[in-house]
Every structure is written in C-alpha cells, then in structure tokens.
Amino acid sequence: MNKLLSSNWVRPLLLVFAVLVLWDICIRVFHIPQYLVPTPLAVLEQGWIEWPMLLRESLPTLYATLGGFALSVLIGVPLAMMIAYSPLVESYLYPLLVFSQSIPKVAIAPLFVVWFGFGVVPKVIVAFLLGFFPVVVTTAMGFKSVESDMIDLARSMGSSRLQMFFKISLPHALPSIFASMKVSVTLAVVGAVVGEFVGSNSGIGYVLQKANGNFDLPLMFAALVVLSLMGVILFVVIDLIERLAIPWHISQRGSAPAASA
C-alpha cells in the first residue's frame, strides 16, 4: 500500500479526486446554480459526449503550440548564446527583450491577423512571443554559469573554441535549456489559445468561445481540462527527453543515493 501511495502518478491523482469531491460538496452546500458553476459530473458527462469533437479540435491548437515552441527554441537558444558570450550584444538586446515581454499579447494579436491573415501564422507568432522569453533568460544564465576554471583548464590544454563549446559549455547549459523549455511549452499552449480567440475557426480556443456564447459551462470546463492535459503531456514529453539527454545531472539521479553506501 505504501509503495503504491508513493508512486509518482497516484499522489496527484488522489489530490485531483479530493478537489473534485470538495467542488461537488461546495456546489451542494452553497446551492450554487448550474449556470454559474457546473458540477464535476456534468463536466465529465459533457466531456465524454463531446470527446471526438474535443480531440479533433485540440489538433490545430497542438500544431500551433508546437510551431510556436519550435520557433522559441530555434530563435531563443542562439540568441541566449549571443547574450551570454558578448556583453556588447547583451547591453543592446536585453533591455529590449524585457520591454517586449511586457506588451500584452492579447492587445496586439488582432494586428497579426490583419498583417498575416486568418490562419495558423498569427497563432504561431503569439505562441512564439509568449514562449521565447523564458528560453532566452534561462538559457543565457545556463551558458554564463559554466565554471571559468574548466574553461581555463581546457584552454591550457590547447582546446579549440568549438571543442570547448561542444564538450563543456553546451552540456553545462543543457539542464537550463531543458528547464526553460518546460516553462516555454506550457506558455506556448496559452499563446496558441489567445491566437485562436482573436482569429480562428478551429481549435480549443474556438470551442471555448462557442461554449461561452451558448452558456454551455460544462463544455467550457471540459475544453479547459483538455487544454491543461495537453500542457501536461507536452511537459512530460520534454521531461522524458531530458532524462535521456542529461542522465548525469543531479535532478535526474532520483532519490536514495545514500543507500548505496
């Protein structure tokens, strides 16, 4: 029993179950009407009935998320490297990056639709704009935190700059890169949905708008659950890749190292 309880999956599921029970009790005790907050059972029922539609509509959102996320990594990592290695670039670029991050994407998303039309492009751009800042900041920090002793040692042994990059800097920065990717992918999901609210006729954002207009609260909640699940799955996928790529890192070594003594 104890072993089952301490398994990684059982604990969060137990908490979710407890929250659902509490939610249902609150609705009954406070007589909250259905048109304000739906019961968990109503949400599950609607989710089950509409499952094929929800699955179908989650694909466009997924594509936009992956597109925005890919751009975040492909543009963010090289940018972070430039910032880490050149104080000149950092002094020009960094303040602008922070400034751009404060612009609310929901306000400028309609402009993207005007410039790039109704399609997947505005969604990918909004997802990219939301997701690339964590990648740049954390990755730059990762590259900067390489111990200078190691670099000096390598240089004293005659290593070229390319060798130093691939054998020392990049492996040292990988844990930061993966951490930033986890944050970035969940933000990219949000960005894709914001893009859909503004201009799209497919995707979970579209389902949310229609459900909201029809006062179909159970469907709205069900769509939100699907959206969150998408974020969780993407997060787990990156976590698995991280485990394969950097098994040596302390965060991957798991518990009970002391037992081996």
Q: Which of 36, 143, 38 is nearest to 82 (CA)?
A: 143
Q: Which positions from 167 through 206 interact with other proteins, judged by CB under 8 A? A: 197-201, 206
d(CA 169, CA 177): 12
Is 221 among the residues that bind other proteins (CB under 8 A)? no
Is 177 within 8 Å of 79 (Cβ atoms)?
no
**Residue of 1, 7, 31, 33 interacting with other proteins (CB under 8 A):** 33
**Residue of 86, 91, 160, 214 interacting with other proteins (CB under 8 A):** 214
Give the number of C-alpha atoms closer than 13 A to the C-alpha of residue 151, restricted to the C-beta side: 13
Is 164 among the residues that bind other proteins (CB under 8 A)? no
Residues in binding contact with other proteins, number by CB under 8 A: 22
Is 228 among the residues that bind other proteins (CB under 8 A)? no
Q: Which is nearer to other proteins, 37 or 62 (CB)?
A: 37
Q: Which is nearer to other proteins, 57 or 242 (CB)?
A: 57
**Residue of 20, 66, 113, 245 interacting with other proteins (CB under 8 A):** 113
Is 197 within 8 Å of 118 (Cβ atoms)?
no
Q: Which string of b and e fits 249-261 if b means at least 16 CB within 10 Å?
A: eeeeeeeeeeeee
**Residue of 35, 157, 250, 257 interacting with other proteins (CB under 8 A):** 35
User: Torsion angle of alpha carbons 240, 243, 244, 246, nearest 10°?
Assistant: 140
Helix (H) or strand (E) holding 12: helix 10-30
Rg (CA), the chain: 23
Tokens of 244: 């394969």
Q: Which is nearer to other proteins, 26 or 232 (CB)?
A: 26
Q: Which is nearer to other proteins, 131 or 199 (CB)?
A: 199
| Nearest distance in Å: CB 235, other proteins | 29
Question: CA 195, 201, 203, 209 torsion: positive or negative?
Answer: positive
**Residue of 51, 166, 215, 248 interacting with other proteins (CB under 8 A):** 215
| Nearest distance in Å: CB 126, other proteins | 13
Question: Residues 114-133: x/- map of binding to other proteins (CB under 8 A)?
Answer: x--xx---------------
Residues within the interface to other proteins (CB under 8 A): 33-36, 110, 113-114, 117-118, 197-201, 206, 209-215
